[in-house]
């Protein structure tokens, strides 16, 4: 997996399309939601094998799971942001789904169960430039984390910064045209 920082960055980039004044808390919520699929590492402690559909990079990383979460979130969005509930549910799908898709670009570990429970196949992207982040916090801060962050700055940070930049230019252009 990429580090939680990079997943959060991607979640924030998707959430940056939300208009003010709600943008800040939506960004925080999306940053948490996008990292949530990796909570499946608890399965290691519960004795669930890595390759099991409920194991790490399994069901919680699936686009099917993201779609179900988006559907479940819709009534909540209707209560919080009634005028944009449908759009927020769609964004929830992209935020949660982005996690598994991004993980397919990592260079180690098992593939991602993008379509579990419909199809248990684990998938990798044909190009895998992103270094896999250590699963344990101690290993991450023990040295290899720095190499992971440097790698992610290139392959995730730069493209995400471009998204923020383009969004900012479009937003300013619209404001000046209004």
Binding residues vs Zn ion (CB under 5 A): 1, 38, 103
Shortest Å distance, C-beta 76 to Zn ion: 24
Q: Which CB sits closer to Zn ion, 77 or 106?
A: 106
CB of 109 to Zn ion, least distance (A): 9
Please tell me the distance from the alpha carbon of residue 68 to that of residue 60, in angstroms, as a whole number: 11
The least CB distance from residue 152 to Zn ion, in Å, is 13
Which residue, 137, 131, 7, 120, is CA-closest to 55?
A: 120
On whether the CB atoms of residues 40 and 54 are closer than 8 A, the answer is yes
Other C-beta atoms closer than 10 Å to the C-beta of 150 total 11
Q: Which is nearer to Zn ion, 61 or 77 (CB)?
A: 61
By beta-carbon proximity to Zn ion, the closer residue of 38 and 152 is 38
Q: In the numeric block, which tokens belong to residue 164?
A: 């923020």
- Determine the Cα–Cα distance for residues 131 and 110; give it in Å rounded to an integer: 13
Query: In the complex, what is the shortest distance from the CB of residue 55 to Zn ion, in angstroms, rounded to a whole number?
Result: 12
Of 103 and 152, CB closest to Zn ion: 103
């Amino acid at each position: 997996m990429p580090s939680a920082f990079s997943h959060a960055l991607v979640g924030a980039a998707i959430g940056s399309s939300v208009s003010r004044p709600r943008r800040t808390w939506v960004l925080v919520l999306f940053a948490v939601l996008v990292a949530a699929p990796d909570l499946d590492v608890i399965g290691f402690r519960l004795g669930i094998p890595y390759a099991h559909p409920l194991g790490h990079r399994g069901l919680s990383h699936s686009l099917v799971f993201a779609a179900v979460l988006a559907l479940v979130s819709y009534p909540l969005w209707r209560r919080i942001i009634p005028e944009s509930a449908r759009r927020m549910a769609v964004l929830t799908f992209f935020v949660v789904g982005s996690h598994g898709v991004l993980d397919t670009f990592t260079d180690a570990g098992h593939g991602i169960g993008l379509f579990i429970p419909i199809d248990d196949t684990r998938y990798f992207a044909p190009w895998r430039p992103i270094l896999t982040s250590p699963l344990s916090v101690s290993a991450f801060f023990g040295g290899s984390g720095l190499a992971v962050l440097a790698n992610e700055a290139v392959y995730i940070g730069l493209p995400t910064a471009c998204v923020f930049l383009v969004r900012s230019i479009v937003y300013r252009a619209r404001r000046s045209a209004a």
